[in-house]
Chains A and B, each alone.
Chain A
Amino acid sequence: MSGKPLKDPLDLLDIASVLTDEEREIQATVARFLADRVRPHIGEWFENAHFARELAPELGKLGVLGMHLEGYGCAGTNAVSYGLACLELEAADSGFRSFVSVQGSLSMFSIWKWGSEEQKQEWLPRLAAGEAIGCFGLTEPDFGSNPSGMRTRAVRDGDDWILNGSKMWITNGGIADVATVWAQTEDGVRGFLVPRGTPGFTTQDIKQKMSLRASITSELYFDNVRLPDSARLPHAQGLRGPLSCLNEARFGILFGAVGAGRDSLQAAIEYADSRVQFDKPISAFQLTQKKLADMTVSLGGAALLAVHLGRLKDQHRIRPEQISVGKLNNVREAIAIARECRTILGANGVSLEYSPLRHANNLESVLTYEGTGEMHTLVVGQAITGQAAFR
C-alpha cells in the first residue's frame, strides 16, 4: 500500500503546535510573499548574481526589516516571530535572509541599541521601510575571527574624526546608504555611521562568488574620511558594541538554517516520490528512506532548538553561548541535509531547477560568517570547561 508523502517534514513532530497563532500568521505571510515574489525567480537571480533590490520596500511594507525592534517604524514583534521570518526567508534563499539579517540585526540594531536619538530618527524609519539600505563593517581582510586586531582606525582632528582602513566581506556594502563601521580609537573600538557618498568612502563588490550569489558582498575602503562627532555611535565602546549586534544576527541565522534544510528536504522528498527506478519510486527504497528519516530527525531537532532559544530570547535570558550552540548545530545540520538531499536528486541535483545544491552552496558562507563553526565550538567548549581555547 502506498500513501502520500509529507509535504513539510517539520509536520512529523507538529512543530507548529508550539507556536502562537500570531507567530504562525507572521510566518505564513512571509512564506506567501516569498512564494509570489521570490521563488519564481530565485534560480535565475542566483545564476546571474542579481540582488532584487526592488523588493526591499516591499519587505519594509510587510514589516520584515528590523521587525523585532520597538519604535521608529519597526513592527515590534517577538523574537520567535523574527526567527520564523528568517526561517522562511532562508527557505527561499540564504542571500535574501542575509540581506534581512544585515539590515535588521546589524545595521538597524547597531543604531537602535547604540545610536543617539538624532541618529535613530534619521535612519531607522527609512531603514525599516526599505527606502534606505544599511550595512555593517567589522570584518577586515586580515581580521575575521579576531576582530580585536582590526587595523581600521579613527583619530580625532579638532571636533571631527578621520577614518582610515578597509572592511571585507560586507553584505549589502555596495548598495548601502549608510554603513555602521567599527574602528580602533584612542579609547578602544568605536562605531561610526558613514553615509554613502561621504568623500573618501568607496566600495567594491566581490565578484566570482560560488555562494550567496543573490546577495551583494563588498569591500569598503576609507581614505581619510572626515566625519563629525555626531557620526559616532555614542553609547558603544569596546568590542561589546559590535558583538552584541552579531548575537542578534546569529539568532536569525539559527532559525534561517532550519529553513534551508527544510526546503532541501521538501525538494528531496517530492523528487523521491516521483522518480521511478526499477519500477517503483525511489522513496520506497530503504537507502533513500534512511537518508530521509535521518534528515527529518536532525531537522526536527534543529527546529525545536531554534524555538527553544527564541523563547529564552523573548524572556530576555538568552546567553551568547546558547546562541553559539544554536548557530553551530543548526548550520552544521542544514548543510549536511542540503548535501545529502542533492544525492537523492541524482544528476538533477546539480541543476538550479532544484534548490538543495543552491542551499548547500549558500550555507558554505553561513557556516563561516557570524562566527565560524570552529569559533562557536570553542565558545561552547569554554562554557562547559571554563577554559578558553581560542587564543
Chain B
Amino acid sequence: MNIVVLVKQVPDSGAERTLSTDDHTLDREDADLVLDEINERAAEEALRLKESVDAEVTVVSMGPDSALEAIRKVLAMGADRGIHVCDDRLHGADVLTTAKVLAAAVRRVGDIDLVLAGNATTDGQASAVPAVVADLLGLPQVTHARELTVDAGRVRAERQTENGEATLDAPLPALVSVTEKINDPRYPSFKGIMAAKKKPVDTVDLDDLFPDADDAGFLVARTRVVEAVPRPPRAAGIRITDDGSAGRQLVEHLIARKLV
C-alpha cells in the first residue's frame, strides 16, 4: 500500500505570530517553526496503518528550506521517504496554487492508495487544500475524519463537523483529511531520529513538477491579502457590583447586544 501524507511547517501556535509588513505573509524570521499539529495526526494515522498493513509512507511538504525539518520529524516518527517542494517562486502561494503543487508532487509518487492530510493547518486555516488536491487528482474526498479504517480496498471514516456526524465510505485510492480528534501522535524515538537522517528526501522545484508549464502563466495567485491589522487590545469590561440587581443588569446587557 502506498500512502502519502501532506504536511506543513507552521509557526508554533502557542507562540506569538506576526505578518510581514511588506506583503502580509507570515513572518518566519522570528517564529518558532513546528510541524503543524493537525498534520502531525495525519502522519500518525498513516504510521498506524503502516503497522497494520504493509505500507510505504511518503511525506510531502511545500515550503522554504526550513520545511525540511517538518519532513524529517515525520521521517523520525517512522515514515519512509519525503518529497520537499522548495521554490522561491511559491512565496505567498494561495490555496489553489498550493493544491496544484501538492497534487503534482503526489503524482510523482506513482500509484498511490491513500492521501492523508490535516483538515486545516493552524496558520492559514482555509481548510480547503485537501478538497482541492482530491479534485485535481480525481480522488474521492473524505474530509474531517475523526476515525479511520482501511479494509478490502475501501476506506471508511467517521466524519465530524459542526453540522453533525456521518459515516463515509469510499473506494481506494482516496484522499482523507483528519481532525485533531483522530489520535494522539507518538513522540519520535531516538532510534527514529537517528534513522531519519539516512532516509531519502527528494527536493524538487516548480521546473521539476511542471516541466512544460509556462512559468508566468502558472503562478497565478488568485487571492491576495491586501490589508492586515492587529487585533485591537481588549477594551475594559463592565464591572457589575451585585446589590441584588446583578442578574437583571446582566440580562439587559445581553439583550442590548442581541445575544439572547
Contacts and interface: CB of A to CB of B under 8 A. Distances in A.
Interface of A: 21-22, 25-26, 29, 32-33, 61-64, 67, 75-77, 81
Contact of A32 (B76, B187, B190, B191): B187
A288 B242 CA distance: 41
7 A-B pairs with least C-beta separation: A63-B190, A75-B190, A63-B189, A25-B193, A75-B191, A33-B187, A29-B187
Interface residues of B, number: 12
B230 to A, nearest CB: 16
Given A75-B194, A77-B194, A25 B189 contact: no
Contacts of A63: 189-191
Contacts of A21: 69, 72
Contacts of A33: 187
B190 A81 contact: yes
Contact of B76 (A25, A61, A64, A75): A25
Given A32-B187, A62-B189, 14 more contacts: A22-B193, A25-B73, A25-B188, A25-B193, A26-B193, A29-B187, A29-B188, A29-B190, A62-B187, A64-B190, A75-B190, A76-B191, A77-B190, A81-B190
Nearest to B189: A63
A48 to B, nearest CB: 26
B190 A61 contact: no
Contacts of B193: 22, 25-26, 29
Nearest to A67: B190
Interface in B33-71: 69
B197 interface: yes
27 contacts: A21-B69, A21-B72, A22-B193, A22-B194, A22-B197, A25-B72, A25-B73, A25-B76, A25-B188, A25-B193, A29-B187, A29-B193, A32-B187, A33-B187, A61-B187, A62-B187, A63-B189, A63-B190, A63-B191, A64-B190, A67-B190, A75-B189, A75-B190, A76-B191, A76-B194, A77-B194, A81-B190
A61 B72 CA distance: 19
A76 B191 CA distance: 8
A29 B196 CA distance: 14
A61 B189 contact: yes
Interface string B75-102: 0100000000000000000000000000
Contacts of A32: 187
Nearest to B32: A7
A202 to B, nearest CB: 36
A29 B193 CA distance: 9
A32 B35 CA distance: 13
